[in-house]
């Protein structure tokens, strides 16, 4: 099969097409014919070596955690799907391995895609949707009536976090650039804060929960804007947030949390039910044929995508093989 791969850390120029074998599904695995795969910031951060101190890679690597496709084969212990089923999921493999004609994934990390959701939308949902749901619900202890700030509200995780918080009865202040104001308001934000204004955070007020989907604020800046007992949750792990989490947060009587998203078919099915009921919308900013992967990665790395960037899989450009 054809797959996108890289054999060393570097920029997007290290990615190339090559032949790889997906392997046979283990007892709890499914083999998937991939139709679409989303690009997430973790894909290029891993490739650039930004996370090798906590998440080292074993080369060669096929990137991509998010995918949509049809089940090609199942392991002997799999009972939740059958060959031919249309599914999406977040790969539990070390670097994902979804940007390939076929990929393996744990059956417990996938869910059936409802009718009415495109392959691109379904591929864009898993990692970002699970990050939003698990970060807010589990780490932020989200509940109705809370006042919540979401940074990066027009991004892949952020636009879903706004909707998850709103669906659970929270009042949401969304942080984004002025060009995205109207769209983010349409997601349910009752207030939109323009991060380009120098005093936007000072004017933001006080919150029960600050969900820093792009890791730009930090606990130090967030703390004065949290109620006593409130929580700051960031999607970016690192020494600073660990110090905040275990030492500074208790001193200031505010919680500081980070986390790594976990594949979960149960949580993914919940998100897909919300999509089917039109209570959650996944925005695909741009979709690229996978032979144009360099352009797609460049768009994601630019940091201004509205929603998700997705690759659709077809025959790769022979000149890159």
Note whether 181 and 237 are same-domain residues. yes
134-138: average pLDDT: 97
Last residue of a domain, one of 216, 242, 258: 258
- Report the CATH number that the domain containing residue 190 is assigned in CATH: 3.40.50.720
Residue 271 placed within a domain: no
How much is the mean pLDDT over the chain? 93
Instruction: Print the domain residue range for 178.
Output: 128-258
Quick check: helix, strand or coil at residue 297? Answer: helix
Say whether both 39 and 63 belong to one domain.
yes
Q: What pTM, to 2 d.p., does this model score? A: 0.94
User: Which of 226, 258, 290 is the endpoint of a domain?
Assistant: 258
Average pLDDT, integer, range 257-281:
96
Answer yes or no: is 267 within a domain. no
Quote the number of domains for the chain. 2
| CA 152 distance to own-chain centroid | 12
Residue 317 clears pLDDT 70, i.e. is over it: no
Q: Is residue 269 part of a domain?
A: no
Strands 110-112 and 86-90: antiparallel
Strands 86-90, 66-74: pairing kind: antiparallel
The region of weakest confidence among 48-62, 232-246, 296-310 is 232-246
- Provide the pLDDT for residue 247: 75
Q: Is the pLDDT at 139 greater than 80, yes or no?
A: yes
pLDDT in tens, 56-103: 999 999 999 999 999 999 999 999 999 999 999 999 888 899 999 999
């Amino acid at each position: 099969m054809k797959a996108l791969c890289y054999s060393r850390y570097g920029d997007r120029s290290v990615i190339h097409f090559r032949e790889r074998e997906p392997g046979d599904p283990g007892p709890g695995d499914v083999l998937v014919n991939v139709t679409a795969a989303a690009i997430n910031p973790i894909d290029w951060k891993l490739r650039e070596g930004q996370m090798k101190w906590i998440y080292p890679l074993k080369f060669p690597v096929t990137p991509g955690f998010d995918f949509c496709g049809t089940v090609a084969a199942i392991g002997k212990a799999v009972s939740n799907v059958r060959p031919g089923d249309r599914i999406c999921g977040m790969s539990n493999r070390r670097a994902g391995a979804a940007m390939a004609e076929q990929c393996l994934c744990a059956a417990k990390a996938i869910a059936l895609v409802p009718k009415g959701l495109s392959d691109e939308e379904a591929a864009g949902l898993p990692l970002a949707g699970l990050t939003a749901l698990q970060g807010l619900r589990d780490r932020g202890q989200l509940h109705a009536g809370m006042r919540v700030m979401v940074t990066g509200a027009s991004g892949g995780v952020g636009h879903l976090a706004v909707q998850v918080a709103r669906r659970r009865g929270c009042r949401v202040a969304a942080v984004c650039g002025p060009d995205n104001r109207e769209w983010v308001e349409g997601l349910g934000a009752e207030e939109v804060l323009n991060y380009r204004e120098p005093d936007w955070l000072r004017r933001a007020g006080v919150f029960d929960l600050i969900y820093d989907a792009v890791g730009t604020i930090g606990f130090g800046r967030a703390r004065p804007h949290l109620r006593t007992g409130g929580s700051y949750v960031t999607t970016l792990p690192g020494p600073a947030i660990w110090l905040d989490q275990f030492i500074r947060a208790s001193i200031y009587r505010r919680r500081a949390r980070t986390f790594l998203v976990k594949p979960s078919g149960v949580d993914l099915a919940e998100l897909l039910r919300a999509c089917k009921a039109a209570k959650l919308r996944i925005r695909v900013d741009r979709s690229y044929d996978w032979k144009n992967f360099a352009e797609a990665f460049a768009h994601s790395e630019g940091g201004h995508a509205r929603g998700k960037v997705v690759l659709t899989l077809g025959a790769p450009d022979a000149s890159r093989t």
